[in-house]
Amino acid sequence: MNHQEDDERLDAVFAALASPHRRRVVDVLASQPASIQQVAEQVGLSLTAINRHLAVLEAAGLIRRLKSGRVNFLAVRREGLLAVRRWLDGYSPHWGSDTETLENYVAAITRTPANKKESTP
């Protein structure tokens, strides 16, 4: 997958997760698969409303659907979240506390080099 495809996947995933209802769907399905009816009940939405949210989550690659008879079952596609994890992991080597990171940066750029003597008037 190239950089542009990674960006497009991240855009789709972040857009899908921007909705609290869709995040709740992912939360519900994170522990185990469920039917659409079960998800709708747990999220507190009608079947019509939940289906619109499911379409966005499916398009983003965050859930998958399996039909058995007349019942549709849903599960989280964990690999759908891997793009976000890889993106976040790219920043982890730089993470310290916010204060520590900012203070270290300011100290580094304002530090007088040891070999340069300050002139006195």
- Measured between its terminal Cα atoms, the distance across the chain in Å is 61
Identify the pLDDT of residue 14.
95
Q: Give me the DSSP letters along 55-89.
A: HHHHHTTSEEEEEETTEEEEEE-HHHHHHHHHHHH
In the chain, what is the greatest distance between 2 CA atoms, to the nearest angstrom?
Answer: 89
Q: What is the pLDDT of residue 106?
A: 85
SS3 79: helix
Per-residue pLDDT at 98: 65
CATH architecture of 3-87: Orthogonal Bundle (1.10)
pTM (predicted TM-score): 0.75
Taking only the tens of pLDDT, the chain with its 121 residues reads 567 777 888 999 999 999 999 999 999 999 999 999 999 999 999 999 999 999 999 999 999 999 999 999 999 998 888 888 888 888 776 666 666 777 777 888 888 555 455 555 5
Token pair in block for residue 54: 């499911």
Delimit the domains of the chain by residue range: 3-87
Q: At what angle do helices 20-31 and 36-43 cross, to 10 degrees?
A: 120
